[in-house]
Amino acid sequence: MIKVVNKSVRGLTLRTGSYCLRILISLSMLLNVLTGGRVHQPFSARNWQWKKNKKYNIVFLIDVCYGESHCMHSWIRWTTRQEIVNELSRNT
């Protein structure tokens, strides 16, 4: 009985965690758009771009909260997705 309950709780936790992560990513994109950024770009990716361009950024603060190199990895994912989308749109 306890194993069944633990398995159910673990499954619920994974689904809830995944849902919360998607909500946080959506809020990040919304914050980015509200502050003048591009659609579907996470706020952390935009901050990394600002850092690369030597503009004011909060990369340090975001990385402290979400883990080392979070902004850089977010920017890499964003840039890769954009390149794929652009390539696909040129081929169609």
Q: Has residue 83 got a pLDDT over 50?
A: yes
Tell me: the pLDDT tens digits for 49-72?
999 999 999 999 999 988 999 999
Q: What is the pLDDT of residue 6?
A: 41
Task: Say what the pTM is.
Answer: 0.71
Q: How many CA atoms lie within 13 A of 46 on its CB side?
A: 16
Contact by Cβ (8 Å): 35, 49: no
